[in-house]
Structure 1
Amino acid sequence: GDALKWVEPAALDDEDDDEEDDNTEDEDSIDDVVGATVLRGGALVGVEEGSEDSRAATEFWESVGILPVRLIFREGSGLTLRCYVEDTARFLGSELTVDVFRTPDGLSTFVEEGEPNDLATLSTWGAVVEADADPIAAAADSYDFAQVSDMLDGTADSWDLALLVQVAEAALDLAEYCHLTRVSDLLSPDTELGAAIEGEEDDADGNGERPEASDVAVLAEQWNEVVAEISTCLRWHD
């Protein structure tokens, strides 16, 4: 894509003070966002680690408190944006549906054209629109639902419950935003799937051995239902 053009978010406050005063009640303060949204460590997807583009992207997205997220399913992968407002996940989307883009250009065009969405009320959204920043997802913000599905149905060679834990975090965020109570129920400690996740979180020194086939089958069935539910709240764009 084009080179990242840095826009200082604070400069937006000086563009139209009167208009900002009128809209104060409609905007969510960035103080509510940045405190719970941190660009986590790890290489950025699509750029060379340590490159100028990588550093610029890291600084920009961290400064606005809104992060690119990559969601990977068997049917394909896409990008969206996510932040946390008072510890509650909020995505680029509307009407309890997340907008997911198959290409970075598609997401950038959507943002630039000012399409209505639930991030537009954030005080730093104007910086995202004006900066024309490439949506580069960090490795820690890339969630491979397909790899978890392959692991649970036996088509993957490896067994890595830590991967399940990481992707389940995104599933819970999506469930929270889209009001998917069934997903939250399936990932609760009361289910076999939720118990496996909780056990992995509590046991950092687990041996990583694959459970009995009958137990894995139960996990796979519950995970497939999670993925099916999440697919109902994704709005795909090219």
Structure 2
Amino acid sequence: MGRHTKPEDADDMSTSDADTDSLDSEESPQRSAKADAFWEKVGVEPVEIALPKGVGLTLRAYRMSDAVETVEVEEEPEPEPEPEPKKGKKGKKAKKVEPEPEPEDDEDELDDVDLDADIEAELDEDEEEDTEPEPEEIPVFLTLRGKLPLFETPEALVKFVKSNPPTDLSGIDKWDDLVKGIKADYVVATEDDTYELDLVVRNLRGGHDTWDAELIVSAAEVARDLGYALRIPSVLSTLSQGSPLDDLDNALRSIADGGIRAMFAKRKARKVGEEQTALAWRGIVVKINDVVDWRK
């Protein structure tokens, strides 16, 4: 799969430049022009995510919320309750309860009740129309029953997709074309779609001078997407607009872009507590790791 291993100290590397180039070519397979054309056609991209438990592949698309169909997923059958043991012949007989006579309905009162119910129903409909959210662009993954299947190999991912499972991604417009045309050698994540969540906490604990802006910013990007797609409120709130991690994210983006703003961004980033930030990110990684379904 894509890039993952990052040396802690480049000076300690004993391999030559030629050896390094050879390793990079082996670890980072190049995607063909035909594969690029396929992913552009279906509007989906392979994504590689590294977590403490391993590295896996999935697929992600961005669509407008009103353009994604809700996929019906059959619930797993619940076990039937065991029948209650029958009582013996000497068991007590149930006491016969005479039905109580019902009072005659007051037509006027019923009319009032029905009228009130009709008014409330109309108000509820008006409120629903007024509060209907505007369509927005949302991330969609191969999520299934609240879990994120991550595949160790492209072949395993392709086999899963070809089985046409009722994932959230199967609700997009190009799903049938994707199922029909996907091939194992197409499943190569670009550098922009490769995320190393397993390295974030260690990098943050190394101190402000060692913080990798691109690593942390990209991790926040995929964490927000997964928090939304997998409905993980704690991840969304920790990375929400105006939160400490969001402020850090903005500062790191400025640092990565360089220029004059980068100097001010570095000062701002230095005011962020190292340990608190590392702990917050550890919580994010743990929450995401808990909903991953690892598949070979």
| TM-score (structure 2 length as normaliser) | 0.58
Choose from 33, 57, 60 the match for 2:35.
57
SS of the residue corresponding to residue 156 of structure 2 reads helix
Aligned residue among 138, 162, 181 for 1:88: 138
Q: Pick from 5, 23, 47 the counterpart of residue 29 of structure 2.
A: 47
Unpaired runs of 5+ in structure 1? 1-42
For residues 212 and 172 of structure 2, the distance between their equivalents in structure 1, rounded to whole angstroms, comes to 37
Matching residue of 1:102: 152
CA contact (8 A) 1:152 1:220 kept: yes
Q: Distance in 2 between matches of 1:115 and 1:177?
A: 17
Deviation at 1:74, TM superposition (A): 2.3
Alignment partner of 1:173 out of 215, 222, 225 = 225
C-alpha distance 94-118 of structure 1, shift in aligned 2 (>3 A): same
The one-character-per-residue Cα deviations of 1:93-112 (angstroms, maximum 9, x if unpaired) are: 22232211111111011011
Instruction: Please report the RMSD computed on the Cα atoms of aligned residues, expressed in angstroms.
Output: 2.5
**2:143–2:230 CA contact under 8 A, matched in 1:** no
Q: Which residue of 1 aligns with 2:50?
A: 72
| Whole-angstrom distance in 2 between the partners of 1:234 and 1:148 | 18
Contact kept in structure 1, 2:224 and 2:235, CA below 8 Å: yes
Distance 1:122 1:192, change over 3 A: closer
Task: Find out whether 1:222 has 2:280 as its counterpart.
Answer: yes
CA distance in 2, matches of 1:191, 1:122: 32
User: 5+ residue gaps in structure 2?
Assistant: 1-24, 65-136
Q: Closer, same or farther in 2 for the Cα pair 1:109/1:196, shift >3 Å?
A: same
Q: How does 1:1-238 map to 2 (within 5 A)?
A: 46-48=28-30, 54-86=32-64, 87-134=137-184, 135-154=187-206, 158-202=210-254, 204-205=257-258, 206-207=262-263, 211=270, 215-238=273-296
Q: Is the CA contact (8 Å cut-off) linking 1:189 and 1:198 kept in structure 2?
A: no
Q: Give the whole-Å Cα distance in 1 for the aligned partners of 2:251 and 2:171.
A: 38
* Range that drifts further, 120-129 or 134-143: 120-129
Deviation per CA, 1:53-98: give whole Å up to 9, x if none. 5211111111100111000112210000010121111101222322
Residues 150-209 of structure 1 deviation map (CA, whole Å, 9 limit, x = unaligned): 201229x94212321111010000001111111111112443322211222355332568
Same amino acid, percent of matched pairs: 29
The separation in 2 between residues aligned to 1:121 and 1:216, in whole angstroms, is 41
Q: In the alignment, is the contact (CA less than 8 A) between 2:46 and 2:193 conserved in 1?
A: yes
* Count of residues paired in the alignment: 190
Does the residue aligned with 2:148 lie in a helix, a strand or coil? Answer: strand
Q: Which amino acid aligns with 2:289?
A: S
Whole-Å separation in 1 of the counterparts to 2:35 and 2:191: 13
Q: Distance in 2 between matches of 1:219 and 1:197?
A: 11
In the alignment, the residues of structure 2 paired with residue 78 and residue 176 of structure 1 have an alpha-carbon distance, to the nearest angstrom, of 19
Pick which of 85-94 and 186-195 moved more: 186-195
